[in-house]
Amino acid sequence: MSHVRPRPPSGILRQLMARLQPAAAMPAAASLAFMMLAPSALAQTADPANTAQTTLPTVKVEDTSDPMEVNNGYQGTQTRVGKTKQDPQDIPQAITVVTQQLMQEQHVGSLRDALRNVSGLTFNAAEGGRAGDNMMLRGFYTFGDVYLDGIRDTAQYNRETFFLEQVDVLRGSASMLFGRGQAGGVINLVSKTPKLADAYKLTGSVGTDNYTEVTADLNKQLGEHSAVRVNLMKRDEGSWRENPASGAEPDVNRGGAQVSLALGMNTDDEFTFSHLYMRNRDTPDYGFSFDGATHRPNTTFPVDYFWGIDRNFDNSDVNVTTGTWTHRFADDSQLRTTVRYGDYERSYWARTPSATVAPNVDGTLPGNGGNWNAGPTRSSDYETLTLQSDYSRKFEALGMKHEFLTGVEYLHENSHRSGLQNLGGTTIVSGIPPLFLPYVESYTGAQLNNFTGNSYALYAQDTVEFIPDWKATLGMRRDELDADYSSAASPHLEYGEWSYRAALSYQPTKEAHYYVGYSDSFSPTADLYQLTATPQPPETSQVYEVGAKWMFFDGDLSFRTALYRAIKNWERNTDLESTASILTKKRRTDGIEFEAAGRITPNWEVFAGLALMDATILEVAEQSTGTVGDPRFVGKRPRNTPPYTFNLWSTYKLGGGWKIGGGAEAKGERYGYNPSNASANAQFTTNGQPSGFNPNTAPAYVRWDAMVSYDQKTWGVRLNVQNLFNKTYYDSIYDNGPFTVPGQKRRFILTGELKF
């Protein structure tokens, strides 16, 4: 049985319903029915002679909901993460929807900040060759599982949120829906699309640490079935960290534009065309070292020390062009076809921190053999061409209701990456510091890598309501990958794999959903990782999940819980410069999650999540060279997988346009180490640890934020205070172990908004 959740009344309508309630607290629905039926009932019973005296004045009721709003405040009410448009309540898998209102009230700019609202998620610091957005979900990598409007988006860059309607996070293996991937889940970015309305919004923000940002969201209805939407952003940020010798500091300088045009809206043939451009010109922050003795963040230098210099850079230019055609048939079916071209250019030079040498003007650090340790560099160009077509249909057969989905997908990838050419000095004796420029590449050495790949997929899924309120979902997918590489050791890869998804759902009412599900995933050796000397088995994952979803307060508040076991085999290393490609042969995460989103009262909204994770290495790594990981790692907690995470954001309307809010983000301690080492004595020095296991550890933390806003129909103002208590905490960890990146210190941001 398919349940469509009614949208709750808002604004004046909600207040009028409350006023119409009788003293016995008549339910809201009955009050609304009474309001609608009262005039006709009075007309039928009134004395004709007294009609003039009994005629009631006309009551004008207005719904003040925003025509641009897609979701219900903090509560996600629709998603396409399952290939078709669905209510998240109906999906037999754990899913989190980070809505536009939540991101706006928290003053979220980057995808990283938006994902702080996702329980069970942690951040990796920049890897060797694996820079940009890099998250862990349920303790597993997600860099191969980021999607933009359902299309694979695995390029290495820093994503922004100015053009996003929401962010959907589908937990669990998802290869049946999306192709090769990991065990943690899928992060799908949902773009803003044109609406049949005229609506314009401009914002400007200023803050401490030289923070400035301007955005524009401009939607224009062009005709009865067409509209255009333009989103613009420019943001600059300084930092509380600084190189004491030169005054250099990490900074963020980003801008972007998205233009989308929709034709044939609400007709049988709808066309949407969009182009997205994003530009980054940052000075990267590679963080702070761990102490070699205590394996905790270094205390030799102040935490606000920055080892970089002004000449460091992190530049990227992203261009994504997309066209989608949706054809709706008369029999409750549709065909949706998308074509996308993406071009992602990036070049960076960063300076890693030192545990023993203070920052200096040139950013120089002694290296091995009398050479400078120049720091990581990269130049890359990644191009993709994607064709994806989905056919969905709802029908009845043999007395049972079916929701059928089938589709095909083609992905062409052309990737080039290289290190940069050192235009300065290479040896300490020369006294000349290293120098690199964007996209000036070095065409020799192991850092040079090219590949061209073609992926093909065919998939089908059916959800059958075999008895009332009971549904069974079964899906399968076949992926084929054919790629050529520049590696002499393994120049060609051909790979094919089946993926499966199964679930059993029980939905006795529209307010309750109970389910049990299974999903798997796979990822071959070389599509996202460095090649092995000889072919190794692919990564494979299996996820088992039992969950429940409930709706409270007439659908205004959603609550879910999920109990799961995720198993990964042949886990790969994301560090492209690492000599060990396999991290562990087998590992597992057992966990339980709780999440609430929506309104408790008309004035009180909340978004909260708690994830408890018990992660364990079951078998140590085996490399193609015959090297085996240290057996003492068996039974230990894997990297960057805290035992718990917690997030909370809540606001309350005070009346007269005023709103206050705040929340917290908490994470348990996270480890950074390399479990593929054959000899791991550095991780097993006691230092007060009874087990003898003492890897580099980022300590647990709690960060608090606050907000106050004043809104009127055409304008508003908001003050955000991030890290309210100015706590020093460590936000992300380089999971091979050497360093961690401190999080944002206290920052004030004042935002003004115009709506017309």
DSSP 637-687: --TT--SEEEEEEEEEEEETTEEEEEEEEEE--EEE--TT-S--GGGG--T
More confident residue, 92 or 16: 92
Which of 152-156, 203-207, 243-247 has the lowest average pLDDT?
152-156
* Tokens 């999440």 sit on residue: 595
- Rounded Cα distance, 517 and 172, in Å: 10
- Rounded Cα distance, 136 and 184, in Å: 7
Domain boundary among 50, 65, 80: 65
Rounded to 5°, angle at Cα 676 from 674 and 678: 110
Residue 40 pLDDT: 35
Phi-psi region of 209 (alpha: psi -120 to 50; beta: other; left: phi over 0): left
- Rounded Cα distance, 527 and 182, in Å: 13
Asked whether residue 748 carries a pLDDT value surpassing 80, the answer given is: yes
pLDDT mean over 634-660 = 96
Asked whether residue 263 carries a pLDDT value surpassing 80, the answer given is: yes
Q: Decide: 506 and 165 in contact? Cβ < 8 Å.
A: no
Which of 53-57, 342-346, 439-443, 570-574 has the lowest average pLDDT?
53-57
Which of 65-74, 113-122, 293-302, 692-701 has the lowest average pLDDT?
65-74
Q: Decide: 108 and 663 in contact? Cβ < 8 Å.
A: no
Total H helices, total E strands in the chain: 6, 35
Asked whether residue 369 carries a pLDDT value surpassing 80, the answer given is: no
* 655: in domain: yes
Which of 126-130, 207-211, 522-526 has the lowest average pLDDT?
126-130
* 246: in domain: yes
Residue 539 pLDDT: 87
Q: Residue 130: what residue type? A: R
* 71: in domain: no
- Rounded Cα distance, 671 and 703, in Å: 19
Q: Decide: 666 and 142 in contact? Cβ < 8 Å.
A: no
Residue 572 pLDDT: 82
* Tokens 């009551």 sit on residue: 59
The number of distinct structural domains making up the chain is: 2
Task: State whether residue 40 is helix, strand or coil.
Answer: helix
Q: What is the CATH number of the domain that holds 677?
A: 2.40.170.20
- Rounded Cα distance, 651 and 604, in Å: 6
Residue 36 pLDDT: 32
- Rounded Cα distance, 125 and 141, in Å: 12
Reading across the β-sheet that carries 95-99, which strands appear in turn? 95-99, 164-171, 185-191, 146-148, 151-152
pLDDT mean over 182-196 = 93
* 121: in domain: no
* Distance separating the N- and C-terminal Cα atoms of the chain: 41
Integer-rounded Cα Rg, in Å, for the chain is 27
* 488: in domain: yes
- Rounded Cα distance, 341 and 148, in Å: 12
Alpha-carbon distances, residue 430 vs 77, 160, 358, 366, 508 (angstroms): 63, 42, 20, 12, 76
- Rounded Cα distance, 657 and 680, in Å: 59
Which of 220-224, 291-295, 396-400 has the lowest average pLDDT?
291-295
- Residue range 471-486, pLDDT digits in tens: 999 999 999 989 888 7
Domain boundary among 40, 65, 90: 65
Distance of CA 625 to the CA centre of its chain: 36
Asked whether residue 126 carries a pLDDT value surpassing 80, the answer given is: no
- Residue range 299-332, pLDDT digits in tens: 999 999 999 999 999 999 999 999 999 999 988 9
Phi, psi of 10 (to 5 degrees): -135, 165
Phi, psi of 92 (to 5 degrees): -80, 55
Whether residues 257 and 391 fall in one domain: yes
- Residue range 381-432, pLDDT digits in tens: 999 999 999 999 999 999 999 999 999 999 999 998 888 999 999 888 888 9
- Rounded Cα distance, 713 and 756, in Å: 9
**Nearest by Cα to 78 from 160, 177, 7, 156:** 7
Reading across the β-sheet that carries 140-141, which strands appear in turn? 140-141, 135-137, 121-124, 730-733, 739-742, 288-289
Asked whether residue 58 carries a pLDDT value surpassing 60, the answer given is: no
- Rounded Cα distance, 451 and 409, in Å: 20
More confident residue, 528 or 429: 429
pTM above 0.85, yes or no: yes
Q: What share of the chain is helix, strand, coil (3-state, %, to 5)?
A: 10, 50, 40
More confident residue, 12 or 494: 494
- Residue range 370-391, pLDDT digits in tens: 788 888 899 999 999 999 999 9
**Nearest by Cα to 608 from 575, 647, 571, 558:** 647
The boundaries of the domain holding residue 308 are: 191-755
- Residue range 546-576, pLDDT digits in tens: 999 999 999 999 999 999 999 999 988 776 6
Domain boundary among 34, 65, 96: 65
**Nearest by Cα to 11 from 713, 717, 755, 752:** 713
* 86: in domain: no
What are the residues facing 414 on neighbouring strands? 383, 452
Whether residues 508 and 647 fall in one domain: yes
Q: Which strand (E) or helix (H) includes residue 37? A: helix 28-45
**Total residue count of the chain as it appears in this document:** 756
Three-state DSSP string of 145-187:
CEEECCEECCCCCCCECCCEEEEEEEECCCHHHHCCCCCCEEE
Q: What is the β-pairing status of strands 557-572 and 582-601?
A: antiparallel
Phi, psi of 351 (to 5 degrees): -120, 120
* Tokens 């040079």 sit on residue: 448
Encoding tokens for residue 198?
Answer: 């005229």
- Residue range 706-744, pLDDT digits in tens: 999 999 999 999 999 999 999 999 999 987 778 999 999
- Rounded Cα distance, 312 and 362, in Å: 10
- Residue range 609-646, pLDDT digits in tens: 999 999 999 999 888 777 888 899 999 999 999 999 99
pLDDT mean over 439-453 = 79
- Rounded Cα distance, 729 and 744, in Å: 8
* 736: in domain: yes
Residue 56 pLDDT: 46
Which of 35-44, 196-205, 513-522, 662-671 has the lowest average pLDDT?
35-44
- Rounded Cα distance, 460 and 256, in Å: 37
The DSSP line for 524-588 is -SSSSSPPPSS--PPEEEEEEEEEEEEEETTTTEEEEEEEEEEEEEEEEP--TT-S--EEEEEEE
Where residue 9 falls among pLDDT bands split at 50, 70, 90?
very low
Q: Decide: 334 and 391 in contact? Cβ < 8 Å.
A: yes
Residues 6+ apart with CB under 8 A from 37: none
- Rounded Cα distance, 159 and 40, in Å: 56
Encoding tokens for residue 544?
Answer: 């088992």
DSSP 427: B
Residues 6+ apart with CB under 8 A from 678: 627, 628, 629, 630
User: In b/e form, how buried is each residue of 478-496, taking b as 16+ CB within 10 angstroms?
Assistant: ebebebebebeebeebebe
* 309: in domain: yes
